[in-house]
Each structure stands twice: as structure tokens, then as C-alpha cells.
Structure 1
């Protein structure tokens, strides 16, 4: 990648943006495929912008966000000499002293880096991910142009719906994180620790000794891109008597189960589970038999004063395939508290209790402006009553989440960032599941996992203790109720009672009352002006034009004022009509 000047890059951006009518398509939310093509052509910074837009379901339509989730990198590869120079500079050793073999031709190239097959001196087959030389400069160039364009973009009325300054800041932080492979290394090692060996899920082991800020080395994972399975003929036989359709069904169920495990057990999930980041490895029965895992559990306790320890093992049968996850640049985390709130939300949707859903949604948001709980609940009820009458199997969870996000945004509620990332990841996964197994109801599968997590987190002993304490407090207070009631009645009988009423939307009410009083006063003044002018005109002596002119001037002021009030009233009515 060659470094280019700001002027040349600006010309390129303007040319592509105009060619694909990007601004018009985004503001009018049409032709999302053209916007995606433009972002892919403009490179990593714009791809990141598109990825961030794909989670803003409060601003963009579902069709628009779904299209932007397809953003893929198609970047030309760098020549081997520049790659060799960068790797040797980063690792501070000649290539031949680290690797027994290093393929000159990369097997994949994305916006930030390209990947080469290689072999370490100890015989380990690895993948070397090398950052494109000059990519950091290109990204910084784009970001600086973005920051300079913010004041100009603010003149576009449609740009007011988002905070451009904070969006650019978020893009900068995200891209800087992706440019630092040491951060990806930490995330990849955590994913390996939590997921490698869980059922048929596998992850590459990282090589920290050979990894730097611009180079990362990991274990080679076998398998083919999941896209090949998606495009395979359903009726074709694979692995004995099993068809590809049956394999797709098995894989889709495993992907959902694994995602739920990541979210509700680990609190750490792969935020970009698209087919390019998952490899399917088919293995023979003999190879599969060698990898059968044994799960052991220990239980310790006391029988009287005698301690005991019991260990039991269970052979977990694995199926003859592996799902190998790669690329860990985009990961999400979710706290225990938020896990509980999310499970409550899903269970509430499953129960179709609108009040419970409203409470659960409110709990995962933070208030960023004035909030009317009654208005929020009414809007949510209107949507849910129309949508949740469908059978559970037909509920599209992604559509539900998208509409709920819009309602929250309209009511000054901002959904927690971790949940936004989760919705984005879930949307990507939903697209994969839809391609693999269109008949699968994602909601029917997800709800039991949420219920299972809710039950696991429920501490029955604590709940019983808290309930018992509540009952005891109530019983203790019961004898005092009659005396408190008599005191209250006595206070009102003596005329000492006070009743405080809170008027809802008090500020709006007072502003309207003030406007009405102002109009009444203006009306009285205009009436007095007309009457006074009439008296001046009628009683002015003949030949004295000054008094007569004053009266005419008064008429003119009154006429102009009345005309202004009529125009203002018509304009207000027009605005109300447009808002309907």
C-alpha cells in the first residue's frame, strides 16, 4: 500500500462518494448495496464506519443494517520484500532464523493485514498475520479528513440525528485497537482458554514469543470457510449416509448453543461470527475417536465428622467435525449484572408480558434526556401488541430488538454499549443461521438458554431468607396500622392535612398557559390601539394632519400585528399537519 497525500486521498473519496451517491443513499436510506460497495472500495476506515453503522438500528432500517453487515475486505496483497522487511524489523531477527518455511504468497488479505502459511523451526505449522505496511498512515489520514469534515457535515440537516464528533472518536479508538496486534493476542488467548475443547469448538493456540504490535503468529487451523458449507448442495452425501442438509442443521444448532454459552456463562463473546471467521474441518471416524474428551467432576463434603471426596467421569462423544474460530480482533464482554438483565429481557419477550418487557428493557438502558415513562410504555405496548400476537416460532428476535432500540432512542434511553455489541454479533450470527437452516426458529432456541441461566443464578436459600424477612417485617408492622390510620384521620379533622399534587408535564403546561395569557394581553393592547386610533381620527380638528396621521399610524401597526398573528397561526397548524 502506497502512502498518498491528503489532496489525492480527498479526491479519491469525493470521486467514490459521488459515483455511488453515498450521502443521498444514507440520508434517504435506500440502495444499501451501493453504500456497502463504496465503503469496501474506500478501504479499512470506511469499512469500520460501515460496521459501526450496522449496529445503529435506532437510525437505520433493518434492511440497511443487514446489508452493511456483509462488509468484506478485498485488499490487494503486498509484495514479499516489504512483508519480509516488516517481519524482520518487528521480530529483530532474520526470517530464516525464525521460520523453517515462510510462504511468499499470502493465502488471505484483509483491510488491516494479510496472512501467510509458515513453519517454525520446531516443526509447528503456523499462520503469520502481517500488518500492511503504511496502513496506519492511511487510516490516520482518513481520520484527520473526517475530523476536518465534521463542521461541513453539520450543515446537512440529516446529520443532526447522530453526534458526528463522538462517532469519529469511537472509530479512532476502534481502529487504533485493531492496529495493535498485542491487544488481539490477549483477546485470542482468552477465547482459547474459555472455548478450545468445548464440544466441537476449537481455537488456535497463539505464539506470544513471535508476536508484536504488527505481527501475530498462531497455530494453523485446518478446514474450509463456512461459506462453502452454506453453498453446498443440500441433497449431496457427506460423511457416510449424512447429507449436507443434516450437517447444516447440526452446525447451526451448535453455533447457537456456543454463542449462548459465550454470552451467559463466559461473559466474553466473538462479536464478528461471520462465515469468513469460522472454518469447518471434517474428520474421519478414526481421527474423531482419538479426540473423544472425558469430562471429570469432583464433589467434596462431610458425612458427620468424616470428610469425603467423590470423582466421577463422563465420556462426551464428539461428532466427526470441528468448528475452528479464527480472527479475534472484535470481541465483546458482558458483566454478570447485564447477563441477568438480558436473560430477564428474553424471558419477558418469551412470556409476552408487555409490562415485564418494558421494565426489563428500561433496566438495560441509561437515561440521556427527559423521560416520560407512560409514553415509553405506551409506545412499547403498541409495538408489542402487534408483534407478539404471532406464534413463538414466527417471532423474529432481530426485528424485535431493532424496533425496541428505536423506541428507546425516541424516548431518550440509550442501550448499554455491551448490549449494542451483543445485538450486532447476534445479528451477524442470525444471518449465518438463516443461510444454514432457514427453518430454525432462533427465538425458540434462545429462550430456553436464558431460562436455564436465570435458574442457575437463582439462589433459592437467599430468596427464601429475603422473602421470610419481608413477611416478618410486614407482620411486625400490622399491629401499628390502626393507630397510624387514626393519627392520619385526626390530622385531617383538625385541618392540618396537606395534599401535594404533581402535574405531569408541568413545564409544558405552564409554557402553554403563559403563551395563552401573552396572546390575550396582545389582543387587549391591539383592541385599545384600534379604539384609540379611531378616536384620534374622528376627533382631529380640520387642517391638523398630525393627530390624523397618528391615528392612521396606529391602524397600520394594528393591521400588521394582526397579519403577523394570522400567519404565525397558519404556520403552526401547517407544522402540526406535517408532523402527523
Structure 2
């Protein structure tokens, strides 16, 4: 049977079967059954397969077994699990907790491959580009590994190289993920509200950006421009003569990891100043630049002399446009001013509320949220708590949450945690307030109002011009009978599957019965040759009928429907 998104290549089909077998191995056979994929199992696995895990996993929870399956399936599925761990709007908390444990540490590829990549991409030998080049990588992951090197100028750099063949592996796995998402929507219509195919498309965009190191280099340069007048922030320099989509060469940062508080203090650095510098840097990225580091965990932040902050790993970045900046600022002001309606208006403008949302229940939840924080002084409020509570309210009330907002929420929660680790007395809301106020003031500036009115007038004029044409086209289609309305049945997949199974078993039973009748006629006709006094052909017929009958009985017992 052809599966959409999968090619007919042997490797694709083989990999798809491997994915199904891994799910079965880890006790996730119920997924195979729900998606009607039993026919992709081998013949004997199809007969004996059960949705139970292997013996050593029998006491593990479903989320733990799901994590183990993803780890066995390799880098694409590990990355996908890591992305799902940031989606509390669609993934239950117990699965998020497990997916956060996914690691993509992997053995480094040999130095001979490093030489081949550099020669093939930059058309020069390593010795022609670098004065020194360490053969041992300082880090190795599923997508890339990193080596230290020295340029002919004597500048110390790090060189990030994409793992050979990883692009082809990810492309093949993406086709499988798309196929599974498509089957999920068809076989389990209730999952459509979560938009499985849309989730895979978003993942595809993100992982392809990570594969292209040129994009990461542009991200680095964008951060450099945004912080060129900020002496407390250091962004590494990109060396373009040794950079392309498979290789990224940038300035090496020799500092102290921000989580190493003991060493920071021994070096004479001030954790409290560092905490403020780091938090202010992220807040500026969000509320001023609209372009922020999407993964500011302690491993990606180093501290240099003078309490300066250096950010590393710019593969994951977030962007929020002016409209989202304004609504985010209004929502935060609504929280601080205990104004529930202002928060609801922000959700509405961001198109998070549709006709299925219970407005009264949403307002009641937000009223309770405001009441919970009413007695807490502003300087004691934690933005992480507030973000977490807002996300829970959005999930409970089935609001549509933009992926950008989820990444933003995660970033703010992580950087607040880093700040509080350095300085438990850090007050973040007072740092947020002036930035939020500046966004609001910018929106109310006369020049901004004039530009908005001009833009609105232009869009309205365009609508007036095209509206008659659109109406005319609609009427013409209606008159000519070419207006199409598409209907889609839902929930009939399982019924069709049941009919197929019933008809197959009925046909099988009829064949067995026919074989028994034919054998009986041969015995009655008493036609030789004979074995034990019975006609041989009749005896063979009875044996075949018995085997087929037992086989049918086993299938019925395994199905549990008898």
C-alpha cells in the first residue's frame, strides 16, 4: 500500500519498517494498531505481535519507553523529541519531563573525514587555512562536531563541521515523520486540532536551519550589530573565509561557564552584576530587537573579565514582530495592573481565541490568576511563575499558542533561572517594566500613528480595488457550475478496517470449508493411491484444512475478539 510522503525507494520502506519495529519493541504496538500499520510488519511479527514492551522495560512508564524508542531511532527523532519537550500545549507534562532527558551525544567522526570536508567545501588543505588544527574534537553531537584551531594570524578559533551524511538521514526521517503525521490525522481525526503535519513542517524548518551553518553565521552577525554599543556583551566574530553551509569558523571564547559560581568568585567577578547583565541582554533582545537567543542555558553562556557576558551557539533563535512585541507588552502590563480584560484582548489580537473557546471559563481562570498575584509586591514577582501559569491557562482553555511565544516563554523562564542561580535576590520585574513602557510609548508616538494610518489606508484601498473582481469570479463559478465544496468523512477508517478483517476471515473460512468438503468427496470416492487405508489426496486435504483451521483460530484468539 502506498503511503503519502514516502517514496517507493527500498531504503525508505526499509527505514519505515525499522521505525515500526522499534515502536513494537518498546511496547508501543497500540500506535501501530491505531494507525493500521500491521501490514508493514514481517509475517511472523504480524501473527504474534502484542503492544507490550520487552521484559527489561516492563516496569517502565509509557513516556519512558517513548523516550527510549526515540533514542534508538537516532538524531532526527531525538531532535524532534527535544522540540516536543518545549510544547506543553500539545504534550502531557509526564512526556515533557522524559523528552527533556533526550541527549544527542554521539561518537566523533574520524579526522580523515574532517580533512575531506574542509578540502571539499573550501578547496584548500587544512594546513593552507590553519596554522594549527586539533585532531581531537572538543564536542561531538548528532549534527556537528567542534575542533579548536589557530588561524595564520595567530587568532584562536573554533571550527564547527557538519557530520557527513547527516542531511540525507534527516531528509529520509522527515519523510517518515510526515507520513506518520498524515496517517495520524486520517486514522485519528481528533488529532487534527493539534495540526500534526503543521508541527512536522515547523520542525522541518528548524532542523534545516540548524543544518545550514551560513544561517547561524548570519545570526551571529545580527547579534553583533544589535550589541555593538553594549560593552557588557561579547559576541564571537565569524571568519567568512573559512565558513559556508557545512563549516562555521568563529572566534574562540575562553571564559568561565556562567554556572561555575565558585570559580567566578575566586577570579574576582561579581555574580550579582553578571546576573543583571545576562538578564538585561535577553530582555533587550526580546523587547527592543525582536530577535533573541532561543537556548540561553548555562552551557551556552560564558563570563569574561569585567563581568562581561558571552553568548554561544546561535543555531536556535527566535523572532517576534512588532505586533507580537506590542501585544506581549500589553499582556505583561495587564498582569502587573491586574487587568484581566487587557490580557484577553491581547489573546484576541494574537488570534489565539476562536469560536470554540469558552470566554467565561477563560475570564474566570484569568481572574483567579490575577487574584493569586494581587498581594505579591511587584519586585517579588517571578516572570517564570507567571509565564508558566499563563501557559497552563492557555492549554486548559484550548487557546492557539504560537510556536514563537512558546520559545519566548522558555527563554524567559531559563534566563530567569540562570539569574536567580547567580543572585537569589534578583528582582526581574523591575528590569522588565521600563522596556515594556518603552514599547508602549513607541506605539503612541505621532510618527508611528501616522505610519499605521498610512499603511491601513493603503491596505483598505487595495481591498476596495480587488473586492469586485473576487465577487465577479465567485458568481461566474456559481453560474457555470464550477463552484466546488469539499466534504471529508471522519471516523470511518476504523470501520473500514473492521470490514476488511471480517471479509478476509470469512473468505479464509470458506476456503477451509471448501477444502474439507473436497477431501470428504475424495475419501468417499475411494480413489487411490492409499495410505493407512485412506485415499492419499483426501488425507492431504484434511491435513491442510486442519492446519488452516488452527491458523484461523490462532488469529481470532490473538485479536481478543471471540
* Pair 1:275-2:261 in alignment: no
Q: 2:79 aligns with which of 44, 48, 58?
A: 48
By how many angstroms is 1:136 displaced? Answer: 1.1
CA distance in 1, matches of 2:125, 2:165: 21
After TM superposition, the score normalised by the length of structure 1 is: 0.62
- Aligned-partner SS, 2:292: strand
Paired position in structure 1 for 2:164 = 133
- Map of 2:453 onto structure 1: none
Asked whether the 8 Å contact 2:298–2:418 carries over to 1, the reply is yes
1:220 aligns with 2:252: yes
Which residue of 2 is the match for residue 145 of structure 1?
Answer: 176
Report the 3-state secondary structure (helix = DSSP H, G, I; strand = E; otherwise coil) of the residue aligned with 2:287.
helix
CA pair 76-119 structure 1, distance change in 2 beyond 3 A: same
Shift in Å at residue 67 of structure 1? 6.6
Match of 1:182 among 189, 201, 214: 214
Q: Which residue of 2 aligns with 1:255?
A: 278
TM-score (norm 2): 0.64
**Which of 121, 124, 143 is the equivalent residue of 2:152?**
121
Q: List aligned pairs for 1:338-353, cutoff 5 A.
A: 338-353=324-339
CA distance in structure 2 between the aligned counterparts of 1:187 and 1:107, rounded to whole angstroms: 22
**Corresponding residue of 2:118:** 87
Aligned length: 414
Seen in structure 2, the aligned counterparts of structure 1 residues 34 and 252 have a Cα distance that, compared at 3 Å, is farther
Change (3 A) 1:66 1:10: closer
In structure 1, list runs of 5 or more residues that go unmatched.
284-319, 464-580
Aligned partners of 1:250, 1:411: CA distance in 2, in Å?
Answer: 40
Match of 1:168 in 2: 200
Which residue of 2 is the match for residue 556 of structure 1?
none
Q: Write the distance in 2 (CA, Å) between the matches of 1:367 and 1:237.
A: 48
Indicate which of 84, 103, 108 corresponds to 1:77. Answer: 108
Query: Quick one: structure 1 residues 377 and 11, their matched pair in 2 at CA, closer, same or farther if it must change by over 3 Å?
Result: closer
Equivalent position SS for 1:415: coil
After TM superposition, give the deviation of residue 383 of structure 1 in Å. 3.6
Aligned with 2:131: secondary structure?
A: strand
Contact 1:59 1:161 (C-alpha < 8 Å) held by counterparts: no
CA distance 1:343–1:328, change in 2 (3 Å): same
Q: CA deviation at 1:398?
A: 3.0
Output the CA distance in 1 between the equivalents of 2:68 and 2:237. 35
Q: Does 1:10 align with 2:23?
A: no
Corresponding residue number in structure 2 for 1:431? 417
Q: Measure the CA separation in 1 of the matches of 2:323 and 2:260.
A: 39
- Post-superposition CA distance 1:310-345 (Å, at most 9, x none): xxxxxxxxxx23321111111111222322221111
- Secondary structure of residue in 2 paired with 1:204: coil
Secondary structure of the 1:123 match is coil
Instruction: Decide whether aligned partners of structure 1 residues 103 and 8 sit closer, same or farther in structure 2, where only a CA change above 3 A counts.
Output: farther
Higher strand share: 1
Q: Radius of gyration: which is bigger?
A: 1
The answer to whether 1:401 aligns with 2:384 is: no
Mapped to 2, the partners of 1:431 and 1:15 lie a distance apart of 39
Gaps of 5+ in 2: 1-10, 32-50, 54-59, 450-562
Tell me if structure 2 keeps the 8 A contact 1:77–1:106. Answer: yes
**Secondary structure at 1:414 match in 2:** coil
Aligned counterparts of 2:102 and 2:431: Cα–Cα separation in 1: 27
